[in-house]
A and B are shown apart, each in its own frame.
Chain A
Amino acid sequence: MHIEDIRNDFPILDQEIFGHPLVYLDNAATTQKPQCVIDAVRKYYEKDNSNIHRGVHSLSERATRDYEAARETIRHFFNVKSSREVIFTRGTTESINLVASSWGGANVSEGDEILISHMEHHSNIVPWQMLCERTGAKLKVIPMHESGELDMVAYADLLSTRTKLVGIVHMSNALGTINPIKSMIEQAHAVGAKVLVDGAQAAAHIATDIQALDVDFYATSAHKMYGPTGVGVLIAKEELLEAMPPYQGGGDMILMVTFEKTQYNALPHKFEAGTPNIAGVIGFGAALRYIESIGFASIVKREKELLIYATQQAETFTGLRQIGTAKDKACVLSFVLDTVHPHDLGTILDREGVAIRAGHHCAMPVMQFYQVPATARASFSIYNTEQEVDALFAALGKARQMFA
């Protein structure tokens, strides 16, 4: 894997911001898109644009073929048993809402418990809160340690036969922590609970084998995996999806409609009402083929080197407090400086060409845990370099100087 070749795959990286080379370190918010993804989306609109699953003309047949080929790519990428278990959505958020609304509505009632962790993204908190408000079920939270690791003793204690579902993030977007989901899923299954894994942050950085994990529901987004925004996937066990009522009604999810009754379409179409984001799905497929062409062995090795390099500099930078120091973490350096607020850092770094995220990272309970209003977060990807990490710390030095 040659870094220059990889950087050349991403046309956006070749630009200047305020006279400095762009240093894009906001990959946890969204990754950049390689040329092959841009080309796939463009080809669809230039050559194949038409609606899917209904036309008998050539364009529709091509669009349908490419859309369904992307589903097969995604099935293969995550080692899912059947493409009937791969549902396209607008993203992780919609996938989780689908499960909370459809599965939760049918299976959760008063007295039941939903167990999530303290480091969840708002998208894996709020849908469950809404479900609990509707049903009278109780939302419980797995606590975490100062390092940003979940308290696994407390987890074991919190699990009981009342637990209907455990919602857990694979990798925290605010802390970088990688959670031990395999053992957490086993423990949940032992008490009869289902498990939903939020894979939004992890999927581009860690190989995920759905069958090996035996996970019931898995949600992720294309745009954090070098693919387009506005498209994602829900992967779920077929028997669960079969038993669940549809989430939305409309075109494409039906077999037969009369005013008396509607017969729903087979999986996966039952959960894909309306014309989907066809170009986005095709781009998603191209993005996963791109990741496969590099391979997770190289990705994990490279991203680990970068994180170690950045962490070493963070440890010697005066006045910097790292937020999230789990042993098993990846790609995320979240921190606060004692003299400069994260938002001022964000503005000052931008003028040096360095793009980072400042804020609560849609994980306000994590901010409350560390008693900070916000953090600055640099997040890395396969195209980042050691020189870019140096640029980050040089810019941080300037910011500190301004407020000295």
Chain B
Amino acid sequence: MFSLGDLYQEVIIDHTKSPRNFGTLDPCNHDAEGFNPLCGDQLHIYVQVDAQNTIEDIKFEGQGCSISTASASLMTQAIKGKSVADFKQLFASFHHMATADLDEKPDEEALGKLAVLAGVKEFPSRIKCATLCWHTLKSALEDAAEPAKTE
């Protein structure tokens, strides 16, 4: 059984208290909103993508629980400077980690620091908290007309 300590690791508490890349980005050429209707989490993600499809800069703001805030903070750190193709790969890896079988170890090589969020899979009602920011960034990059939802 996972303990609470596996979910609320020090890194997560740290990113909750002082989220990185928090705020708005001006100028930015993509942005999107994300909502989790279950909890009322709200997220706004801003990205600046250059001509070579590199995510030059990324920021987020909004209100959410520690898992959603820490996940967004860690995501922005992981994604800054990467290509849009890298994002797609990382999204797939992250999504797999958050929904994988309980006994499967996270792929730390691919995920790096993001692996600290592996604990969410033991808490089904919290998986969406961790994935909201990823869905929102995907919407932003695709210039989706509708806000991202986790439902």
Contacts and interface: CB of A to CB of B under 8 A. Distances in A.
Interface of A: 18, 340-344, 346-348, 351, 358-360, 364, 367, 373-374, 402-403
B8 to A, nearest CB: 6
Contacts of B40: 359-360, 364, 367, 373-374
A373 B38 contact: no
B33 to A, nearest CB: 14
A343 B65 contact: yes
Given A359-B40, A403-B66, A348 B13 contact: no
Given A341-B66, A343-B65, A403-B13, A374 B39 contact: yes
A373 B36 CA distance: 11
Contacts of B123: 347
B42 interface: yes
Contact of A343 (B3, B13, B129): B129
Nearest to A341: B65
Interface of B: 1, 3-4, 7-8, 13, 16-17, 38-42, 63-67, 123, 125-126, 129
Given A402-B4, A403-B13, A344 B39 contact: no
10 closest Cβ contacts across the A-B interface? A343-B65, A341-B65, A373-B40, A373-B63, A374-B40, A360-B40, A344-B66, A344-B65, A351-B4, A343-B39
B66 A373 contact: no
Given A359-B38, A373-B40, A402-B8, A341 B64 contact: yes
A125 to B, nearest CB: 15
15 contacts: A341-B64, A341-B66, A343-B65, A343-B67, A343-B126, A344-B8, A344-B66, A347-B123, A347-B126, A351-B3, A359-B39, A373-B40, A374-B39, A403-B13, A403-B17
Contacts of B16: 403
Contacts of B129: 343
Contacts, number: 50
Contacts of B126: 343, 347
A382 to B, nearest CB: 28
A78 B44 CA distance: 49
Contacts of A340: 66
A347 B7 contact: yes
Q: Which of A342, A343, A351, A367 has the most CB of B within 10 A?
A: A343
A256 to B, nearest CB: 45
A403 B65 CA distance: 12
A391 to B, nearest CB: 16
Nearest to A374: B40
Nearest to B69: A341
A340 B77 CA distance: 23
Nearest to A375: B40
A177 B80 CA distance: 48
Given A342-B65, A343-B65, A347-B123, A358 B39 contact: yes
Contacts of A360: 39-40
A403 B67 CA distance: 12
A347 B38 CA distance: 14
Contacts of B7: 347
A117 B39 CA distance: 23
Nearest to A361: B40
Contacts of A347: 4, 7, 123, 125-126
B122 to A, nearest CB: 10
A133 B62 CA distance: 31
Nearest to B3: A351
B41 A373 contact: yes
Contacts of B8: 344, 348, 402
Contacts of A359: 38-40
Given A360-B39, A403-B13, 4 more contacts: A344-B8, A346-B125, A364-B40, A402-B13
Contacts of A351: 3-4
A360 B40 CA distance: 7
A341 B4 CA distance: 15
Nearest to B66: A344
